Amino acid sequence: MTIPASTIASDDAAVVFDGVSKRFPASGESAAFTALNNVSLTVARGSITGIIGRSGAGKSTLIRLVNGLEKPSSGKVRVDGVDVGALDEGGLRNLRRSVGMIFQHFNLLSSRTVFGNVALPLEIAGMDRRAIDERVRPLIDLVGLADKHGRYPAELSGGQKQRIGIARALATEPKLLLSDEATSALDPETTQSILELLKRINAELGLTVLLITHEMEVVKAVTSDVAVIDKGEIVERGQTFDVFTHPKHGTTQALLSGLPGSKLPEAIARGLAPAAAFGGRVVVRLTFFGAAAERPLISRLIQSIGAEVNIIAGTIDEIGGKPYGSLVVAYGADPETVAKAERFFLGNGLVTEVLGYVA
């Protein structure tokens, strides 16, 4: 679970950010700026933790601190209890063998085959050819490309290239896998297959995954825990289900507004009024989860209030393996109907938000 660094046992922590700030000095035409400001965050061993935020929020700087590509200006980053910022070059090389990395743009060598790309970090480490073969072939099979050993990157699709990038990241048998916008260049169907692969690797290998993304759909699909970063600061964190169903910070709420079922149809949104007119209808967003997501709520609502209910928008989905739903409905705005509806919502554990009124 993603929780404050001080409340988790060190044996359970894969990565700890302890009061980390990163400041970049002025350079050429670029002014000095602070990319990260006093970040404290713990990534639990064996979790898939998402770091989400808008472009420029500090996500990539955060992940570069983990493998020592950047050093903090203040504070400490610990990986398996080791202070990354205190390591010399030899220590960093050892660390990076235990930290795999997959990238948005794959970073494959065009002159090398699939096998050669996956084998590269092992060759650099000085492993003999037989041992390399014994390590690489099962990894290529694991990512579902058993028939592509001798192909070159130019012959592969984007999803296949990313699978090879994942196999290469696993070649040194890391304990931690860093993913920096790894699905941003892929279409939705391919993205889903890559996320399923990451979930399988996490489950089968017990690998901790730290996933950087700006895509809420990715976080929803694969992570158990999430931290939201804005202007270099962690503004919200917790289990993914809790953050998605009860977002507290404005940045989180804004990011979640783009998810299917969260946005009103434009024609309805334009017609919303802040107060009810005579004979008008109230527009309400209902959020429900757990057992409530499996009940026939709308039919029961109609029976309870004795009035018609229009469904305007909605979605039923899963977050962190738990059922979750969001519905936007409209019903009569007269006081009696509204009071009956509020009693129904309260009795069924639904979270409600009045969005406005329509004639």
Helix (H, G, I), strand (E, B) or coil at 223: coil
- To which residue do tokens 């500090």 refer? 58
Domain boundaries, the chain: 5-98+174-256, 266-358
Homologous superfamily, domain 5-98+174-256: P-loop containing nucleotide triphosphate hydrolases (3.40.50.300)
CA distance 216 to 142: 27
* Whole-number percent of the chain with pLDDT over 90: 61
What does the pLDDT average to over 105-118?
Answer: 94
* pLDDT band, residue 182 (cuts 50/70/90): confident
- 197-230 pLDDT, tens digit per residue, is 999 999 998 999 999 998 888 898 899 999 999 9
Do 192 and 215 contact (CB within 8 A), yes or no?
A: no
Give pLDDT, residue 6.
41
Instruction: Tell me the mean pLDDT in the region 3-16.
Output: 61
The residue ranking higher by pLDDT, 28 or 311, is 311
pLDDT at 10 (0 to 100)? 53
- Specify the fold of 266-358: Alpha-Beta Plaits (3.30.70)
Other residues' Cβ atoms within 10 Å of the Cβ of residue 118: 28
The DSSP line for 25-50 is --BTTBPPEEEEEEEEEEEETT-EEE
Q: Is the pTM of this model over 0.85?
A: no
Predicted local confidence at residue 293, as pLDDT: 65
Distance, CA of 21 to CA of 33 (rounded, Å): 11
Does residue 7 have a pLDDT over 70? no
Q: Which one of 8-12, 94-98, 164-168, 311-315 scores highest in mean pLDDT?
A: 164-168
